[in-house]
């Protein structure tokens, strides 16, 4: 009821009418979410849902383009033409993923310039994993196996995210990510099976450095996750941070055995009762340090991004000038 009393002024009345309409819209929105339906860009949605999506999708987009940097470090030093072509294609794919994701975030009413400004001024987050260095060639294989492997584990459920433009982008991204993971595993398998002792040691060293940061990719424990409960209720996240992390560990512990590498966790052990692998404590202080900007490469990554943006200004200006010229010609014709 929005006209309970006769003594409300026109302003109060308008506010009350609006809130009734909003309550109805919200009820319809909630019902659609409960039925497992999808929300499209033009559908009504609560402000908090919109903000949560812009936050998550833009963080994801930033991760894709910052993720190009550690691998880019190895393009000129890839050991063979085949590995170089694969690496170039993979890095190019990450740029494409960033594009799909920025486009999905833009459908929520935030411009690409605003999103990139937040990244370049250090206000936006991107995945903690990309603040670690790539020290040897095996790091490229391990990024494919573990980092892309963790990304797929986290991202397959996002193909069913309640926000349809994000879900559609994720379907395309996941197809490509599975190739990324396989190329990494294949590169490592070749080094472990046919390589020299030095190459096998290089793989083990890379695994030792990337294992724990990969587990941190899934976010803080559920008990400390600020957004999980609401995002799960809205069907943005379908599986919790801890459950995804466990699924990832279960899959990779077996793959490590096939590869012939050991994982750097003395407590990693198959638990017959739980039907899962038990694992040791994660260093959450390290995670929050890296997320807070104080990881091994945070400053370097951000500086490189800003430099790339500034050096690309002439390309953006030329594209705009070209578009203006075409529009003028079309008007004149």
- Contacts with ligand BYC, residue ranges (CB under 6 A): 55-56, 59-60, 63-64, 67, 94, 125, 127-128, 147-148, 151, 154-155, 216-220, 225-228, 231, 237, 241, 291
Q: Smaller CB distance to ligand BYC: residue 142 or 261? A: 142
Least Å distance between CB 19 and ligand BYC? 28
- Joined together, the tokens standing for residue 72 give 């880019």
Question: Dihedrals φ, ψ of 81, to 5°?
Answer: -60, -40
Name the residue with tokens 């079309």: 330
Q: Smaller CB distance to ligand BYC: residue 59 or 204? A: 59
Q: Smaller CB distance to ligand BYC: residue 144 or 202? A: 144
Q: Can you point out the beta strands (E) in the chain?
A: 269-271, 276-278
Buried b (16+ CB within 10 A) or exposed e, 174-208: bebbeebbebbbebbbebbeebeeebbebbbebbe
Least Å distance between CB 156 and ligand BYC? 11
Least Å distance between CB 57 and ligand BYC? 8
Q: Smaller CB distance to ligand BYC: residue 64 or 139? A: 64
Comparing CA positions, the residue from 319, 317, 111 lying closest to residue 327 is 319
Least Å distance between CB 267 and ligand BYC? 22
Least Å distance between CB 6 and ligand BYC? 45
Q: Smaller CB distance to ligand BYC: residue 199 or 245? A: 245
DSSP per-residue codes, 163-187: BHHHHHHHHHHHHHHHHHHHHHHHH
> C-alpha angle with apex 148: 261 to 116, nearest 5 degrees?
140
Select the residue whose beta carbon is closest to ligand BYC and give its number.
Answer: 67
Q: Smaller CB distance to ligand BYC: residue 199 or 228? A: 228
Least Å distance between CB 93 and ligand BYC? 9
């Amino acid at each position: 009821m929005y006209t309970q009393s006769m003594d409300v002024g026109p302003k109060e009345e308008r506010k009350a009418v609006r809130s009734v309409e909003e309550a109805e819209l919200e009820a319809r929105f909630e019902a659609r979410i409960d039925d497992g339906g999808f929300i499209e860009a033009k559908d009504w949605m609560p402000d908090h849902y919109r903000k949560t999506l812009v936050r998550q999708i833009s963080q994801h987009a930033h991760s894709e383009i910052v993720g190009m940097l550690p691998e880019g470090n190895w393009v000129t030093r890839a050991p063979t033409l085949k590995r170089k072509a694969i690496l170039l294609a993979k890095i190019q794919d990450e740029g494409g993923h960033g594009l799909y994701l920025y486009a999905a975030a833009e459908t929520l009413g935030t411009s690409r310039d605003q999103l990139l400004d937040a990244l370049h001024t250090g206000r936006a987050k991107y995945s903690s994993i990309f603040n670690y260095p790539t020290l040897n060639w095996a790091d490229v294989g391990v990024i494919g196996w573990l980092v892309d492997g963790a990304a797929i584990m986290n991202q397959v459920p996002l193909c069913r995210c309640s926000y349809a433009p994000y879900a559609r982008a994720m379907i395309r991204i996941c197809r490509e990510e599975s190739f990324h993971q396989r190329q990494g595993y294949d590169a490592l398998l070749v080094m472990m099976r046919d390589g020299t002792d030095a190459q096998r040691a290089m793989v083990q060293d890379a695994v030792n450095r990337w294992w724990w940061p990969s587990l941190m990719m899934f976010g803080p424990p559920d008990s400390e996750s600020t957004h999980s409960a609401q995002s799960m209720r809205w069907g943005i996240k379908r599986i919790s941070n801890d459950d995804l992390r466990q699924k990832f560990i279960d899959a990779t512990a077996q793959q490590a055995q096939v590869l012939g590498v050991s994982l750097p966790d003395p407590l990693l052990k198959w638990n017959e009762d739980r039907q899962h692998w038990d694992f040791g404590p994660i260093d959450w202080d390290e995670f929050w340090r890296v997320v807070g900007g104080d990881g091994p490469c945070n400053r370097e990554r951000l500086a490189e991004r800003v430099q790339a943006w500034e050096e690309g200004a002439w390309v953006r200006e030329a594209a705009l000038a070209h578009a203006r010229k075409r529009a003028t010609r079309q008007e004149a014709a």
